[in-house]
Structure 1
């Protein structure tokens, strides 16, 4: 008996699989050279932020706010920043938002943790649509909830709506939707969102309490040609949006995002207060002051995302020609590759022997698949294709003409 929380000790020892592989890659780079390690493990954007990000930082640091910019803001975020973001969201999505609807956070992870902590009462459940980001399970359990996993349609990685309807029960407090999806890149079309909303409205009426749709949206703007991302609050009133600028603006290390609670959300005033209380309990104090201002100035902009389209097309086309199975992502910079053997971990270890690094998707609730993060240079993708071909030949995959 150590006298320490066993769950936290276990989580600390069982590291996030992507970061473990990333650390291995950094060590290998010192041995064989970084150019010889083809790392597709971590969702770290490979393109620079838009020029307006740096321009905004320079303007702030040279302007009248420079002396105070690094000080505390209001816990929920600077008032002027929230007003600017509300105006931007109103303009972009055609629904009226106010500063009071926004709570600025330390990225989407903090947004989700605040939401789960604000919502979870003893015995409450949160439905997770697989495949899902590895940390959802940690965030839900760590903030007092119980995760309930719904498997997808493995042909498309779209939600299994019949399974979702069965999973939503009297103890369901929320359903987490991540579209575009990490790790599959799948986008849930408007028709699917309408059906999810219909299921939740029926369940709300049946059980007599709100069931929140928690929309995790860090990849909202990373969308490939031919795809669109529906705005979920337009389909379901009890939607809570959790957003991050990490991917759209290529700012993952700066940790800036928000929670959006529109005026139609059930028990909105108490829920907003609970979110504020969760931020206090979790010790976030306030989101980074400088990058609150950057977010306000740059909301709706993106980095140059064309390289992700190029990389996706190269990978999907090349892997399929080699005989691999993968489902074309509609957004993000990830794709799921079906392991040519049942044990995806073993396949990833074999790839690692070739200094081709990517994680198995077991921790994403998708055993038998691997996640490829193609937020790399196109040169890295081109260098990786012959190694994927070597593996395909080893496993006896039949190349397609």
Structure 2
């Protein structure tokens, strides 16, 4: 087997369980019809984007003949768009940041890859909290960096500071947190993040170089029951916030996100210059022009979070009546119940036989659980009730 075919085979073997189940769903829908399949596999928002999105698209259409409307711009995005992000981060994080501290990217994934390319060296390590978004491991491997999972606390999915410390070595260059969390729905408290910041500060001094706290926050807007999503930037000098507008504006396909550096970070100007370069040389070139104009209009609105709250309640009822053990999600749009019998892969196969699609927790570093997204209509959740009951017999 050639080196190329070995590498391709490795990627396929380790490819996302999310996509595997999504593609299985396509086959099931072709066989039985779309209305017969209840697909909870992919976190693809179905709530319409704010009406202002349509208004700005019509306005841009009228300007398409003007020179440079859709041309290249500075690597980090339009200066006015970077300032819009700075204003947003200031409001959300409670810190003074400028447009110079922010960079527009091709989604949060683009931001994370640009950041890794700018600060990581081959052989470095990044610690992530399990269960975690599965593609973190692929993003680090893009840059010859090792992703090391650290378990969260059993059943509650709270940060386990001892577990994170045990995963750290002198090669550790960053720790990723995702709150509200995909796949568990956990929201880390200010006390948890403060404890983590203290650990990273101590380890940075011990290892003789800074360890970055990378906060991935695309679900910040979606917390339930009055739960607060704490600000990270005020708590640690080497904190970095990454996010996108895939969820809060239902613009997943537009691929626009950002990275913002803590204003307390030493030499952050030098790091931002590096991000400007890597944002281009990785092939992203520039963040989408249309996406930046959409932000200008749509950030004054967002999707109706109340729709997701209602769906969460419906799914909680359906799962409870079907006899599942789960923790009520505090944020994001996922449930992460325990898999009856303990084998999450086998159980998701049982669900599939009932035409219900879920993703095994194994794909997120959380074996023994399975993930359900509730960015689907309430009627789909209700229709899946009988399938959930049959699979759990």
TM-aligned CA deviation for residue 331 of structure 1: 0.7
Task: Determine the structure 2 residue equivalent to 1:129.
Answer: 129
Task: Determine the structure 1 residue equivalent to 2:153.
Answer: 153
User: Is 1:216 aligned with 2:243?
Assistant: no
TM-aligned CA deviation for residue 238 of structure 1: 0.9
Question: Alignment partner of 2:336: what SS?
Answer: strand
TM-score, normalising length: structure 2? 0.95
User: Is 1:358 aligned with 2:358?
Assistant: yes
Give yes or no for contact 1:118–1:278 (8 Å, CA) kept in 2: yes
Relative to structure 2, which stretch is displaced further, 17-26 or 90-99? 90-99
Task: Determine the structure 2 residue equivalent to 1:378.
Answer: 378
Distance of 1:85 and 1:262 partners within structure 2: 13
Q: What per-residue deviation string (whole Å, max 9, x for no partner) do you get for residues 309-361 of structure 1?
A: 11111222332343211111111111101110222111111110111011101
Task: Determine the structure 2 residue equivalent to 1:97.
Answer: 97
TM-aligned CA deviation for residue 263 of structure 1: 2.8
Distance of 2:206 and 2:299 partners within structure 1: 39
User: Is 1:118 aligned with 2:118?
Assistant: yes
Task: Determine the structure 2 residue equivalent to 1:289.
Answer: 289
Task: Determine the structure 2 residue equivalent to 1:168.
Answer: 168
Task: Determine the structure 1 residue equivalent to 2:23.
Answer: 23
TM-aligned CA deviation for residue 3 of structure 1: 4.3
Question: Alignment partner of 2:4: what SS?
Answer: coil
Relative to structure 2, which stretch is displaced further, 340-349 or 162-171? 162-171
Distance of 2:382 and 2:249 partners within structure 1: 25
TM-aligned CA deviation for residue 243 of structure 1: 0.7
Ranges in structure 1 where 5+ consecutive residues have no aligned partner: 395-401
Give yes or no for contact 2:75–2:277 (8 Å, CA) kept in 1: no
Instruction: For 1:386-401, list aligned pairs within 5 A.
Output: 386-392=386-392, 394=393
Task: Determine the structure 1 residue equivalent to 2:265.
Answer: 265
Give yes or no for contact 1:82–1:296 (8 Å, CA) kept in 2: no
Task: Determine the structure 1 residue equivalent to 2:336.
Answer: 336
Task: Determine the structure 2 residue equivalent to 1:245.
Answer: 245
Instruction: For 1:177-216, list aligned pairs within 5 A.
Output: 177-216=177-216
Give yes or no for contact 1:85–1:296 (8 Å, CA) kept in 2: no
Give yes or no for contact 1:117–1:144 (8 Å, CA) kept in 2: no
Ranges in structure 2 where 5+ consecutive residues have no aligned partner: none
Question: Alignment partner of 1:290: what SS?
Answer: helix
Q: What per-residue deviation string (whole Å, max 9, x for no partner) do you get for residues 364-394 of structure 1?
A: 00011100011100000111112111222x2
Distance of 2:260 and 2:245 partners within structure 1: 14
User: Is 1:70 aligned with 2:70?
Assistant: yes
Task: Determine the structure 2 residue equivalent to 1:320.
Answer: 320
Task: Determine the structure 2 residue equivalent to 1:85.
Answer: 85
Relative to structure 2, which stretch is displaced further, 342-351 or 92-101? 92-101
Q: What per-residue deviation string (whole Å, max 9, x for no partner) do you get for residues 61-86 of structure 1?
A: 33588553322221110112112222
Distance of 1:80 and 1:264 partners within structure 2: 23
Distance of 1:21 and 1:214 partners within structure 2: 28
Q: What per-residue deviation string (whole Å, max 9, x for no partner) do you get for residues 198-234 of structure 1?
A: 1111112222211110011111101112211011102
TM-aligned CA deviation for residue 12 of structure 1: 3.9
Question: Alignment partner of 1:150: what SS?
Answer: strand
Distance of 2:41 and 2:32 partners within structure 1: 18
TM-score, normalising length: structure 1? 0.93
Task: Determine the structure 2 residue equivalent to 1:398.
Answer: none
Distance of 2:217 and 2:238 partners within structure 1: 16
Distance of 1:189 and 1:92 partners within structure 2: 15
CA RMSD of aligned residues (A): 1.8
Task: Determine the structure 1 residue equivalent to 2:141.
Answer: 141
Task: Determine the structure 2 residue equivalent to 1:278.
Answer: 278
Distance of 1:68 and 1:13 partners within structure 2: 44
Relative to structure 2, which stretch is displaced further, 339-348 or 165-174? 165-174
